[in-house]
Structure 1
Amino acid sequence: MAKGRNNLLGVGGQRRKLSRADQQGSAPARAADRRASADQKQDLLRKMRERAQGAEAQD
């Protein structure tokens, strides 16, 4: 017989592992950080596109 026969951990699907921050309930702050970084990325992409269009207009 297998050693872990009586150990049925994970049989019904495994739970997602939570970080300490998520366990302590600071998930909303984390989501706000994600939004802020996404906004920064969008702003950077917009600036890069504007510069690329400006370079094309000069040529």
Structure 2
Amino acid sequence: MTRGGSGNMLGVGGTRRKLGRDALRGGDRGGRTGGGLSPQAQKRELLRKLQERQQDRREQQEQQDRRGTDAAGEAS
């Protein structure tokens, strides 16, 4: 085995950049290199979508209930 630098992988992948405390904790992503939403924004978006679906289902159920009530009233 050589003691030279042939197996040394230091420096591969670019230069190291110091990160601030906020960046280490996932905050302050205004410059977003990777894009995407923060975890809290993703959670808010998911919650909004779920609430919209739930509301749509309620409205559809109410419409079906009204149709059933109207049909039962005409039949008797």
Same fold (TM over 0.5): yes
Q: Which amino acid aligns with 2:73?
A: Q
Cα deviation, residue 24, structure 1: 3.9
| Residue segments in structure 2 that go unaligned for 5+ positions in a row | 1-34
User: How many corresponding residue pairs?
Assistant: 38
1:47 and 2:46 are equivalent in the alignment: no
1:5-47 CA-to-partner distances (Å, cap 9, x unmatched) read: xxxxxxxxxxxxxxxxx73411110000000000000000000
Deviating 4+ runs (over 4 angstroms): none
2:71 to 43, 56, 59: 56
What does residue 42 of structure 2 align with?
Answer: 27
Q: What TM-score results when the alignment is normalised by the length of structure 2?
A: 0.47
What is the RMSD computed on CA atoms of the aligned residues? 1.4
Q: Radius of gyration: which is bigger?
A: 2
Q: Which amino acid aligns with 1:39?
A: Q
Q: Which secondary structure state, in structure 2, belongs to the residue aligned with residue 23 of structure 1?
A: coil
| Residue segments in structure 1 that go unaligned for 5+ positions in a row | 1-21
Identity of aligned residues (%): 8
What does residue 36 of structure 1 align with?
Answer: 51
